[in-house]
């Protein structure tokens, strides 16, 4: 299985990964057996949980980890811009005035950082331009080695995609030759950081909206580029959204795609004269004068002063989508025009056997407008004895964030579905998760990064992770132990220690013990990834069993992440051994 994005491969990395690999190779350390942990230090968005995502793409990247001849040529020799290409650019500069001809050659317009203009001499390109390779000074034999490497020597353990995770826990453990394991750092972080942030953000929106409300991701136009948009659609679905407006994401990942209309569609109509053909086939296939039906209801209800261009737009859209009619009602006036026009068209659809979907609000006081709209729908349902009319969907958008969802819940509203874009896909509240990838063992010797900040110290060595679960199915503690040591057992009393703070410790007698790490790669892919719907359900199941105080939006209780007594002692012995002792004179 190849990566979803064709950019993913060994060249999607920071140059220093390759320079370190050269340093390892040069000193004969490239085959040293290393262990790296990928983890994060702090939960995002001021919360106390994170949803892990991106693992499938990580494993796909391992399948694509082979340097090509073109990769090697760039690293060693650089790139060449052909003379013909340079000449085309030069001629374009002449046409647009950025290059001018002088009596002795040519000049090019330049700008300094403050915007001041100057003209500098420029020669007409008559030869190819070589841009030097970033590793041109390396031993040529290194490039032969680089072309031969793959991930067949790696072993990867990870928590399942969609797992609720917490700081310090190794989300991915990479074992294998030092140089190859090192070169996975950048791409692994890239493929898990934003996906985990996005899935977490979506889960928080789901909690704020409530389980019974629909959530549609509307953010492609606001996302950070095409891949950001597609990734946002994919991982917001995992986090609990119901659908996306992004048709490419729907095509790639089988996501439900949903869409209605924009204000431009409504305002493109100026009057009913634009409805050239007033007919619409009913559910029985018989053609009816649909426009006449709409106008009959308009007269009957007394909605004679609504915007006729808007009404024409609604009629036109209903003719195109009689079973998917959802109208944007705030182009001119929500309650005096948009909703009344929708009601007229919707009643006509019901009469000929079709069922409209509902309306969308995109501005104003969403709580108030949704309540007033619902009143009008219910009043119409009662008047015309159409019970389902009162329950037609009310969709709301308009720059909605997590705080607005909570506020709407407190005010009360009649919204069924929220369309959410900017604040979701850009993760505006926190744009990065801050995952790190740290060496924790080399040739069987635990390694540790020290810091004056306790949160930045790493937990050394190969570790297995277990989730200790209480009798009410609430997770109690995530416990790290030295890999290979006996797993904790349900019903046994277990001492769980804070990794750094000595006084913080607790005894736990779990009712159940869940091993979090699964081997997903052992020289090749050995794990089949579940479909997105399965991962999505898994996320919601975990949210349902967490203690409410861990999940609340304001001042949530931190979840306990601990180490075993043996790991605590070995960690602190290594800490004391590696920390320099200050000498005072």
> How high is the pLDDT of residue 579?
86
The three-class DSSP label of residue 415 is coil
pLDDT tens string 308-344 = 999 999 999 999 999 999 999 999 999 999 999 999 9
CA distance 198 to 425: 7
The verdict on 373 and 459 lying in the same domain is: no
Residue 537 has pLDDT above 90, yes or no: yes
Cβ 165 vs Cβ 81: under 8 Å: no
Same structural domain, 380 and 286: yes
In this predicted structure, what is the pLDDT of residue 128?
Answer: 87
74 domain-assigned: no
Residue 191 belongs to a domain? yes
Q: Is residue 583 part of a domain?
A: no
How far is it, in rounded angstroms, from Cα 64 to Cα 1? 9
Asked whether residue 50 is assigned to any structural domain, the reply reads: yes
Domain that includes residue 459, residue range = 15-68+150-206+431-578
Is residue 507 pLDDT above 80, yes or no? yes
3-class DSSP string for 136-201: CCCCHHHHHHHHHCCCCCCEEEECCCCCEECCCCCCEEEEEEHHHHHCCHHHHHHHHHHHHHHHHH
Predicted local confidence at residue 197, as pLDDT? 98
Partners of residue 165 on adjacent β-strands:
50
Give the CATH number for residue 36: 3.20.140.10
Distance CA 249, CA 245 (A): 9
Under the banding of pLDDT at 50, 70 and 90, the label for residue 492 is very high
Full-model pTM: 0.93
Q: Which range (75-89, 178-192, 356-370, 484-498) has the least confidence?
A: 75-89
- Domain presence at residue 2: no
Q: Are residues 307 and 379 in the same domain?
A: yes
**3-class state of residue 525 by DSSP:** strand
pLDDT > 80? residue 115: no
Band of residue 574 on the pLDDT scale cut at 50, 70, 90? very high
Per-residue pLDDT reduced to its tens digit, 5-46: 999 999 999 999 999 999 999 999 999 999 999 999 999 999
pLDDT over threshold 90, residue 80:
no
User: What whole-number distance in Å separates Cα of residue 222 and Cα of residue 239?
Assistant: 19
Residues 348 and 459 in one domain: no
Q: Whole-angstrom Cα distance, residue 215 to residue 238?
A: 12
**Cβ-proximal residues to 158 (8 Å cutoff; 6+ apart), any chain:** 55, 58, 171, 172, 173, 517, 518, 520
Q: Are residues 39 and 165 in the same domain?
A: yes
Residue 73 within a domain = no
| Spatial separation of the C-alpha atoms in residues 127 and 86, rounded to whole Å | 9
Asked whether residue 61 falls in the same domain as residue 101, the answer is no
- CA dist 164 and 428 (Å) reads 21
Q: Quick one: 99 and 163 in the same domain?
A: no
Per DSSP, the three-state class of 374 is helix
Domain assignment present for 158: yes
Tell whether 319 and 373 lie within a shared domain: yes
């Amino acid at each position: 299985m190849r990566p979803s994005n064709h950019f993913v491969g060994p060249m999607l990395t920071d140059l220093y990964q390759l320079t370190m690999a050269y340093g390892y190779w040069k000193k004969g350390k490239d085959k040293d057996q290393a262990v790296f942990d990928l983890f994060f230090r702090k939960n995002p968005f001021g919360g106390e949980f994170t949803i892990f995502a991106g693992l499938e793409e990580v494993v796909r990247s391992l399948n694509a980890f082979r340097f090509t001849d073109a990769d090697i040529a760039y690293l060693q020799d650089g790139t060449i811009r052909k003379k013909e290409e340079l000449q085309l650019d030069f001629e374009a500069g002449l046409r647009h005035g950025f290059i001018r001809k002088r009596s002795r050659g040519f000049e090019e317009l330049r700008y300094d950082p403050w915007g001041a203009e100057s003209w500098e001499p420029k020669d007409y390109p008559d030869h190819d331009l070589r841009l030097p390779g970033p590793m041109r000074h390396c031993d040529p034999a290194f490039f032969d080695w680089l072309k031969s490497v793959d991930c067949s020597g790696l072993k990867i353990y990870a928590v399942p995609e969609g797992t609720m995770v917490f700081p310090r826990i190794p989300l991915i453990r990479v074992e294998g030759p030092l140089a190859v394991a090192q070169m996975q750092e950048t791409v692994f972080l890239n493929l898990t950081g934003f996906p985990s942030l996005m899935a977490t953000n979506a889960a928080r929106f789901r909690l704020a909206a409530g389980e019974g409300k629909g959530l549609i991701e509307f953010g492609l136009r606001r996302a950070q580029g095409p891949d950001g948009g597609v990734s946002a659609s994919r991982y917001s679905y995992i986090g609990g959204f119901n659908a996306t407006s992004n048709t490419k994401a729907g095509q790639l990942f089988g996501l439900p795609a949903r869409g209605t209309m924009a204000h431009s569609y409504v305002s493109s109509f100026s009057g009913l004269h634009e409805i050239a053909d007033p007919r619409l086939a009913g559910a029985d296939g018989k053609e009816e004068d649909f426009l006449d039906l709409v106008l009959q209801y308009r007269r009957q209800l007394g909605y004679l002063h609504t915007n006729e261009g808007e009404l024409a737009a609604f009629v036109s859209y209903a003719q195109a989508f009689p079973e998917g009619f959802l109208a944007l009602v705030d182009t001119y006036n929500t309650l005096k025009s948009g909703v009344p026009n929708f009601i007229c068209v919707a009643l006509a659809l019901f009469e000929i056997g079709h069922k409209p979907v509902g309306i969308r609000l995109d501005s104003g006081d969403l709580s108030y407008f949704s309540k007033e709209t619902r009143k009008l729908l219910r009043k119409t349902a009662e008047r015309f004895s159409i019970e389902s009319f009162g329950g037609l969907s009310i969709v709301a958008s308009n720059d909605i964030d997590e705080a607005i969802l909570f506020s709407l819940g407190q005010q009360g509203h009649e919204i069924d579905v929220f369309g959410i874009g900017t604040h979701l896909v850009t993760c505006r509240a926190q744009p990065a998760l801050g995952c790190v990838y740290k060496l924790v063992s080399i040739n069987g010797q635990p390694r540790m990064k020290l810091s004056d900040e306790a949160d930045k110290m790493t937990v050394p060595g190969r570790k297995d992770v277990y989730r200790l679960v209480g009798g009410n199915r609430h997770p109690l503690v995530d416990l790290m132990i030295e890999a290979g040591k006996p797993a904790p057992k349900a019903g046994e009393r277990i001492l769980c220690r804070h990794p750094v703070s000595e006084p913080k410790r607790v005894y736990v007698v779990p009712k159940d013990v869940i091993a979090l790490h699964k081997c997903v790669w052992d020289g090749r892919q050995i794990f089949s990834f579940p479909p997105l719907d399965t991962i999505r359900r898994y996320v919601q199941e975990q949210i349902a069993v967490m203690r409410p105080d861990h999940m609340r939006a304001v001042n949530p209780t931190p979840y306990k992440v601990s180490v075993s007594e043996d790991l605590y002692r070995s960690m602190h012995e290594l800490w004391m051994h590696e920390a320099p002792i200050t000498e005072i004179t």
